[in-house]
Amino acid sequence: MSNKYYETISKIEVSQEFKKKLIANLEKESEVKYKKEGMLMKVKRTIIIIISTLAVLLGSGVAYAALGGTINGVPVLEWMGIKFSDDYVDYVEPIENQILENDEAKVTLESTVCDEGFTILQFRVNISEKVIEKHKEDDSDFIVNLNCLSFNDPVYYTDGHQETRLNGSNYNLIIDGEEMWVRGSTAQSMERLSDTEYLVYQMYFLTEQHIGDKKEFEITLNDVALGIGEDWIEIDGSFNVKLSKERASNDTKIITPETNTTLKYKKMEKSIEKIYITPLQNIVKLKTVYKDVDLDDLTYSLDDDYVGTIDYLAFNQNENNISAYSTETERKITYEDGTVEESEPGEFEFERDEFEHATYEIIEYIAIEQNEEINQIDIKAYERSDTDESIKNIMEYKIDLNTNKIEAENKDVLIYDPKNSIITDEYKIYYKVFYGVEYDEAEYYHNKEDENHETEIDEELEISKDGKETEVSEETEKNLLEEKVTNNSMVAYAVNSRNESHAIIKATKNGKTISKEVEMNGLVDKAETIEIPTIGKVLLVSDTAGESYVVNIYQLINNEIVNIGNIDCGIDMVTDATYTVETKNDTIAIINAKLDNETVKQKFEMSAEIAYTKIIDIFDLGKVVLVAETGGEYYGIRVYRLSQEYTSGKIQGIIEAGFIQYINE
């Protein structure tokens, strides 16, 4: 199979002709398009890149050292996201005589460690030469790799092929004989020592929910299987691991809050239930309850009660950031009729399409770094907006480890708002923690661009100050104010189902909401509400397909959501162009466009009298010129913008890019 595939795929190549064209285009692109990018887009892209970077780095085949060792200089557990105290090694228990083997592989449990939260098991895996040779049968250069060490996840055979959990195991751990599904709190990493030998670390985060108040318990690991290549090797037998957190527990202090720690944000309430000061770390148990919620409150990002993604950071008494690892162990919804539904960490998925008056609960644990110098922990909860990417500190808990006192305080501090260029030092810490690199380091090249951006803004201001080339004449402005019929200025618009080709538009007026699902020609990209003189408040929804980018304009008219126009903002649109407009003889608009040092002046004759002209921003795509014309019953707005040859950057002139129709209610 692989040969046919390999040969066929090898034939797919970029032709020399295309390569030449590509190189020419890229060369121009690197000079022209690069500087057109707005700051907002750059920040956005950087985040995406960093996320990709992290994902790739994690898979870069780094070697893991044994417990207490390092990966690329970072302690192995810290690399997993856990930072234990230096006392950690004192609590590692060596294990003897826990070996499972057959003629294909041998798995040895070598050590364990556990405290009030973490249980980490270290295994050594040896794979026989026979297995390696079998996998190399077709290709001697093929690298055989251990993919995972699987437990409690029986291997099934379907038509002679092996499958695991996807066929339906409903537990992943057996504690004292009881099968249970440990949600969102297992992780495995491994170190490849050679072709045939690996060290595997299996982590579970076990709480009282799993083991109650037991100090000693037994973990059973059945159905041991090694994922090698695309096959599974099953090994008969099971590991029965007696674990004791006695020592760690004896050295653990548990703080139960004496005062009410509940903080409320919209319909969400958070409270600290317990704090465990173990010899290895500090663990804070947090309970979150959303009360009296409906589906929109939890899933519709433009709903007033919707809460964005919550992230936590921890700081010490000196306001220095300290390591914190949060994990979710429970997430459930209780419907109004008492039915309870559990879901996986991070998921907002429900079996019911609609519901109201439900209660939604999340249990989280935050494992926080501990050392002798930390005597106060400050946990800050941040809401990351799912609509505009802004980040706000909404809650703060200060835990005094000496007096056990907990202070809970609501906050409302914006630490990041790309729209208004708010980037605080606190955001830079957040950035470092969640994206893994220093903000300034990641953004270094943006600074140069920002300087250019600021200069351009200054230039625009100068034009306005001159007063010679105002966007709207005083007379027109006056007419506008009188004429400002503003269809729907009290309407609130919202769009859902982005990233699909269907947009669900909701318009709410006087408490009544009208919805409409519209199919776009491309992928729905952005949405924004703007005010257009005379026309009033409108909703812009853009869609993109390849080189095309269209901004569709919607408005609520006579209780119906109507498409009143479109603007072509395709690949030829010039982001950084600035415009001024003059009018002549009532029907002629003379548009001046400026890009860098190049200016273009073009005359356009309208079919009716010009009511006003205005320059507006379309998202962060650039500016367009609106020329409103009117005659009798007719009232329409023509939209103009500069066009640029995409590949060469050559200015092609000012084009009519769209039309907006005024429809009176």
Partner 1 sequence: MKVEKIEKIVDTYSNMIMRLAYQNCFNKSDSEDIVQEVFIKLIKNIDKLGDNSEYIKAWIIRVTINTCKDCNKSSWYRKVKKLEENELDFCFETEERGVLNKLSELKPIYRNIIYLYYYEGYKINEIAKILKMNENTVSSNLTRARKQFKEFLEGGEDDE
Q: Using CB under 8 A, which of the segments 63-71, 156-164, 320-328, 477-485 binds partner 1?
A: 156-164
Structure tokens belonging to residue 273:
């239930």
Cβ-based nearer residue to partner 1, 320 or 548: 548
Q: Which candidate, 217, 224, 219, places its Cα nearest to that of 240?
A: 219
Cβ-based nearer residue to partner 1, 56 or 481: 56
Give the contact letters, 179-208, x = binds to partner 1 (CB under 8 A), - = no: -----------x------------------
Contact 383, 297 (CB under 8 A): no
Rounded Cα distance between 595 and 641, Å, is 12
What 3-state class would DSSP assign to 566? strand
Options 70, 111, 126, 162; binder of partner 1; rule CB under 8 A: 162
Q: Across-strand partners of 453?
A: none
Options 9, 236, 425, 458; binder of partner 1; rule CB under 8 A: 9
Q: Across-strand partners of 383?
A: 310, 392
Options 39, 53, 251, 291; binder of partner 1; rule CB under 8 A: 53
Q: Using CB under 8 A, which of the segments 42-50, 82-90, 270-278, 308-316 binds partner 1?
A: 42-50
Structure tokens belonging to residue 151:
């437990």
Q: Which candidate, 545, 544, 526, 521, places its Cα nearest to that of 617?
A: 526
Q: Which candidate, 93, 26, 391, places its Cα nearest to that of 242?
A: 93
Rounded Cα distance between 499 and 226, Å, is 38
User: Segment 431-460, which members bind partner 1 (CB under 8 A)?
Assistant: 442, 445
Cβ-based nearer residue to partner 1, 612 or 646: 646
How many residues form the binding site for partner 1 (CB under 8 A)? 71
Cβ-based nearer residue to partner 1, 16 or 259: 16
Tokens 């507006």 appear where?
616
For 234, half-sphere exposure in the C-beta direction (CA atoms, 13 angstrom radius) is 13
153 is a site residue for partner 1 (CB under 8 A): yes
Our measurement of the distance from residue 117's CA atom to the centroid of its chain's CA atoms, rounded to an integer in Å, reads 27
Options 103, 129, 159, 425; binder of partner 1; rule CB under 8 A: 159
Q: Using CB under 8 A, which of the segments 47-55, 77-85, 456-464, 472-480 binds partner 1?
A: 47-55
74 is a site residue for partner 1 (CB under 8 A): no
Options 499, 510, 585, 664; binder of partner 1; rule CB under 8 A: 499
Options 26, 63, 457, 663; binder of partner 1; rule CB under 8 A: 26
163 is a site residue for partner 1 (CB under 8 A): yes
Q: What is the Cα Rg of the chain in Å?
A: 31
Cβ-based nearer residue to partner 1, 185 or 583: 185
Structure tokens belonging to residue 185:
């709190």
User: Segment 529-558, which members bind partner 1 (CB under 8 A)?
Assistant: 544-546
User: Segment 228-257, which members bind partner 1 (CB under 8 A)?
Assistant: 229-232
Rounded Cα distance between 229 and 224, Å, is 16
Cβ-based nearer residue to partner 1, 413 or 545: 545
Cβ-based nearer residue to partner 1, 49 or 89: 49
DSSP 452: H
Angle, alpha carbons 552-611-557 (nearest 5°): 40
Options 108, 145, 238, 473; binder of partner 1; rule CB under 8 A: 145
Length of the chain, please?
Answer: 665
